[in-house]
Amino acid sequence: MWQLADKQFTSRFILGTALYPSPDIMCRSIQAAASEIVTVSLRRQNPGNADGHDFWQLIQSMNVALLPNTAGCQSASQAITTAQMARELFDTHWIKLEVIGDEYNLQPDPFALLEAAQELIAQGFEVFPYCTDDLVLCEKLVEAGCRILMPWGAPIGTGKGLVNPYALKTLRERLPHITLIVDAGIGAPSHAAEAMQLGFDGVLLNTAVAQATDPVKMAQAFSLAVKAGQLAYQAGVIPERDLAKPSTPTVGTPFWQQ
């Protein structure tokens, strides 16, 4: 079992609910992924409005935990207000905190993110901050009270994978007791496996599944990749070497002379 904040789960694969060709494909993808947690944007899907009613009914029927996010917010005050609305509407103190600082690559604003995290934690939220892989920022978020961090692998929707494995590995080594989930930029199942092999606790993605030619099959592929990466980390991946090393020992090997 996986302890995430105050709940326990089996799956370490968190899936987003946007961009799918249809609600039916979204539901089938969630099932194929075996995801027990899904994210939803309050700005896109508001269960209090008529437009979001059908979506909300679908999510409830899936029997999954909900992680609302503050997607689209560009200031600490916007994010705080959105989080407060999400807590009331979705009846959860969990919030994926997003405060975007750059429209070109959707990079989080580190200053506004920290400000919003401090305030929301003071208000009793379990904050899941979407952040860059900057060590100092992550340490400041932990000092503010964050027990979970969600550093990006690459900018949202790019599919580039882990553009800076060194920085992510450093986060894992320097923050051994913090739950780390790679969020954003994952494009292929191999990227998810790589993240888990670094010792990360989970993977969150949306676009790579929702925009695949076959989202249902891709969801299953990612689910298997997350499990494989975790098993590989637990088993211990051999270190890379510059020189070849024979897998068959030379001692005792028969030889013939002419």
Catalytically annotated residues = 96
Nearest to 82 by CA among 69, 91, 93: 69
Q: What token pair was written down for 146? A: 């964050």
25: CB partners within 8 A, 6+ apart: 215, 216
204, 39 contact by CB (below 8 A): yes
For residues 107 and 100, is the Cβ–Cβ distance under 8 A?
A: yes
Residue 129 structure tokens: 């901050």
CA atoms within 13 A on the CB side of 180: 27
Among 93, 95, 101, CA closest to 134 = 101
161 Rama class: left (phi>0) / alpha (psi -120 to 50) / beta: left
Other beta carbons less than 10 A from residue 166's beta carbon: 9
Q: What is the dihedral of CA 204, 151, 161, 174, to 10 degrees?
A: -120
